[in-house]
Amino acid sequence: MSKPKPTPGTSQSFPSIVVSWLMLRFLLALVVLIGSANRPETALEKDMAVWPPASSFGRWLDRVLVRPWQRWDTEYYLNIAERGYRLDDGSTQFHPFYPWMGRVFGYVLGGNMLLGLLAASSVCGLLFLIGFERLARLDLSPGASHRAAVYLLHAPLAFVLFAPYTEALFLLSSVIVFLMARRRAWWMAGTAAGLAALTRQQGIFLLIPLAWELWEWSGRDWRKVLVNWRSALSLALAPAGLLVWLVYRAVVLADIAFDLDLRITDQHRRHPGHPGAGLCRALAGSWRRFQPPEANNRGGSHPGGHFCVDVCVGWAQSLAAPAVLLSVFRRRPSG
């Protein structure tokens, strides 16, 4: 009679996750390098070839491993990490926690802020996977929890865990919220929710599952919630993170204004709205997207291409939101 295969414990699963993480870290670096070789954008990429190595080995490593990631929103995070926020470069639309963390990593790594941003997101991505497995173990077997973390790491969109963007830090903060709430460490959970709101504005919505966990812990009894009012106060840390950022922008940067009707408008005349408002605006303006490029001044963009992307992304989010909410608010089995 064959013995059942042992399920991986914490000590066995950790090396497996790290090895998978390292392999994907190398693979994505190679993919990004190929793109950089074909379409260089930064001055260093244009001045130095990928192969053979240049005489300055350190500068060549920077060109091969770091500069290929300097694309799109990374430029804004890099500007914030290097010189802080400015009103003339569009950096104020990005929350501060991730570029601040990248700045700390950059100083540790010799002053290379882009390398610091890349290291911060990579480390946070690894810690997120470990925390995700720990969270899954509260409801699943060790083997199923380990597989869930590995499958998540190999998901198509998991590349954001390695890119110098905010997603890895935000997901790490989010999983800490759930993990600490399940362990009834309410103030640690609230602190993580506040840091998530300082990373991305969506972090404020972590208040909802955090409040639900507190409600379940109190036996769905308002009297017990009032008795444990000190724990309930931790919920205020989630909106406090976003409020601190908004006050900083209003007082120090002076790029937003609080209207009397409590709407917040920044220097670009933007203000928060319903999550579906963007999709509605895309639908309302769809006829412009399908006009010839010269008719709507979109240059050489493909007619309808941007609209199709907007609709697909909005539709996917609309389908995913109910599933996420049901998984969060479902009543877990006792025991």
pLDDT in tens, the chain (335 residues): 444 455 555 556 788 899 999 999 999 999 999 999 999 999 989 999 898 887 788 899 999 999 999 999 999 999 999 999 998 888 999 999 999 999 999 999 999 999 999 999 999 999 999 999 999 999 999 999 999 999 999 998 899 999 999 999 999 999 999 999 999 999 999 999 999 999 999 999 999 999 999 999 999 999 999 999 999 999 999 999 999 999 999 998 888 766 545 455 554 445 555 555 655 665 665 555 455 545 444 444 444 444 454 445 444 444 444 444 444 444 454 44
In the block, tokens 């309410």 appear at 186
How far is Cα 133 from Cα 123, in angstroms, rounded to an integer?
16
Dmax (CA) of the chain: 75
pLDDT at residue 14 in the model = 82
Q: Could you report the per-residue pLDDT of 31-44, keeping only the tens digit for each?
A: 999 999 999 999 98
DSSP track, 129-173: HHHHHHHHTTTS-HHHHHHHHHHHHTSGGGGGGTSSSSHHHHHHH
pLDDT at residue 328 in the model = 41
81-97 CB burial, b ≥16 within 10 A, e <16: beeebeeeeebbebbbb
pTM for this entry: 0.78
Cβ-based neighbours of 285, under 8 Å, separated by 6 or more: 307
Q: Which helix (H) or strand (E) holds 117?
A: helix 113-136
The pair phi, psi for residue 257, each rounded to 5°, is -135, 140
Is residue 136 within 8 A of residue 149, CB to CB? The reply is yes
pLDDT at residue 314 in the model = 46
Is residue 45 within 8 A of residue 67, CB to CB? The reply is yes
How far is Cα 80 from Cα 89, in angstroms, rounded to an integer?
10
